[in-house]
């Protein structure tokens, strides 16, 4: 038929609609992902498939997850710091980098940072008296 219509075989296979049937690997990956509340990534899904007796590569699992829109909730950043320039506030600089010879509790400085412990973000604020 390709010779008769003068069409290359590559174009015919390229534009032929693909079958919509879901392969067993896709359904298995979706089931494992759903059963574990969306927490499993490619490594754990591969381990779970191996435990069930099926061998699927991590690349294949990643491709299936990308096609199906499955994203592990641990790969999504839960904390996004504010994008603000450092030291751009309008507060007067009363210390003027004179850190020595201060009275007790005259100048107390602090710093705030965010630390990830386990799966949650925590605020860590340190206070420092410039007296010592």
Which pLDDT does position 84 carry in this prediction? Answer: 67
The whole-number average pLDDT for the span 98-108 is 82
Which pLDDT does position 85 carry in this prediction? Answer: 67
What's 101's DSSP letter? S
Which pLDDT does position 96 carry in this prediction? Answer: 81
Q: What is the pLDDT of residues 69-95, one digit of tens each?
A: 999 888 766 666 667 666 666 777 778
Torsion angles phi and psi, residue 65, rounded to 5? -65, -40
For residue 124, what is the enclosing H or E element? strand 120-129
**Which has the minimum average pLDDT: 8-12, 31-35, 76-80?**
76-80
How many H helices and E strands in the chain?
A: 5, 2
Determine the 3-state secondary structure of 21 from DSSP: coil
Contact present, 124 and 114 (Cβ < 8 Å): yes
Q: What is this structure's pTM?
A: 0.46
């Amino acid at each position: 038929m390709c010779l008769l219509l003068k069409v290359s075989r590559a174009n015919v296979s390229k534009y032929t609609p693909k079958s919509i049937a879901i392969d067993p690997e896709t359904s298995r990956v979706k089931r494992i992902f759903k059963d574990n509340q969306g927490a499993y990534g490619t490594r754990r899904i591969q381990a779970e498939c191996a435990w069930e007796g099926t061998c699927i590569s991590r690349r294949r699992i990643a491709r299936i997850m990308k096609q199906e829109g499955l994203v592990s909730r641990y790969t999504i950043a839960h904390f996004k710091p504010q994008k603000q320039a450092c030291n751009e506030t309008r507060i007067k600089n009363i210390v003027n980098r004179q850190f020595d010879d201060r009275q007790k509790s005259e100048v107390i400085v602090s710093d705030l940072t965010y630390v990830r412990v386990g799966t949650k973000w925590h605020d860590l604020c340190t206070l420092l008296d410039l007296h010592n």
